Amino acid sequence: MTGKTAFETRYGFVRNKVLLGNWRESPFSRWSFQNVGELVPSAPVAAAPGGSEAPAQDLTGLLGEKIALAGGPESVAALLKRSDTDGLTIMKGGKIVGDWFAPHMGFGARHIIFSISKSLTAIVAGILEGEGIFDPDAPVTHYIPEAVGSAYGDARVRHVLDMSVSLDFEEAYLDPESAFARYRRATLWNPSGGNESLREFLLTLPRLAEPHGQTFRYRSPNSDLLGILVERASGQRFPELMREKLWLPLGAVSEASVTVDMQGTARTAGGISVTPRDLARVGEMMRQGGTANGRRVVPEAWVRDTVETGGSSEAWQRGTMAFLFPQGRYRNKWYQTGAESGAFCGIGIHGQWLYVSPREEVVIAKMSSQPLPVDDPLDLDMVVFLEALSRMV
């Protein structure tokens, strides 16, 4: 028998070429980012039974529109292709007005959102805070006594939420010999070289001399620790918490999932997979001040603090991401852009965006398989693109 299989025709490679050691590399990520559960142990987050999606909304009319970028005008279609977009959903005034999918991603498919997982985990924390069972001002050791002696031993939950822990750790995504590679092994995202769990890894991390709270330092372990914190506070596993507190009240239509380590600890910093439409629903809930379908999901005061008033501009300016949002801030795992539109967003590596423009009443969920984990020039273009797209729809 000769010829290509249907899988190879669609993705450009055969399934058995996708391994735990290469699933985040191009071109394999075009498939693996939609099928993480075949590679990394994952826990389901079920939606309410009986839900169904309305048909896809055509976005063709916008694809030829031009966006003015620093390097010159570029069409929406060209930008989607250049940024390796897999799926895109746009909401306007609470209604879905457009969907776009690459040939290798079907309507209704789940896709890993990487660090937008942090933003969803923080929402769960905000809900628990509103219920009075989670205190952002408490010491980390109040919930995790064994954190004594680690970087978190004298940190508060607020430092974890705002990425201001003075943590001696680098996000060295591409260095196989780094502490980050050891971190990935502990999450079961890389071929394992030992038997260290995620929690055990987190509690070995050292701190810097600088006091906590002074500098924004983007360190993913903080957000995995947040997942453990909310589990300890609530007495529930994170997948159950996310379903009960967020996914069902939100009215999510499709099942989500989150990767877990050898002990079942959820990778809340980056392991959540959802559909573009359900991700857009999260953004719309935040745009609506914490309500969905007329139901309160998260306290309004928490949302306002997260996307409007909270966060330290001084800590943000001392960090390494101020170039992206020069007037920005970071609060509760969400970015405030500082734009006149009041836009705020969640961002994940390899091109994941959840962009919310309150002024335009627009939410954009963009899922991608960009070859590089971090591409600063492309990210700068994406900020311009998403802000312009918000005005177009």
Question: Is-contact 69 83, C-beta < 8 A?
Answer: no
Question: Is-contact 339 359, C-beta < 8 A?
Answer: no
Write out 272-321 in H/E/C secondary structure. Answer: EEECHHHHHHHHHHHHCCCEECCEECCCHHHHHHHHHHCCCHHHHHHCCC
Question: Is-contact 380 324, C-beta < 8 A?
Answer: yes
Q: How many residues does the chain have?
A: 393
Question: Is-contact 168 205, C-beta < 8 A?
Answer: yes
Nearest to 111 by CA among 84, 80, 86: 86
Neighbours of 371 (CB within 10 A): 13
- How far is 154 from 207, CA to CA, in rounded Å? 10
Task: Considering the candidates 29, 32, 83, 115, report the single residue annotated as catalytic.
Answer: 115
- How far is 197 from 49, CA to CA, in rounded Å? 34
166 as an active site residue: the answer is no
Nearest to 125 by CA among 163, 161, 162: 161
Q: How many helices and strands, by DSSP H and E, does the chain display?
A: 16, 15
For the annotated catalytic residues, the residue numbers are 115
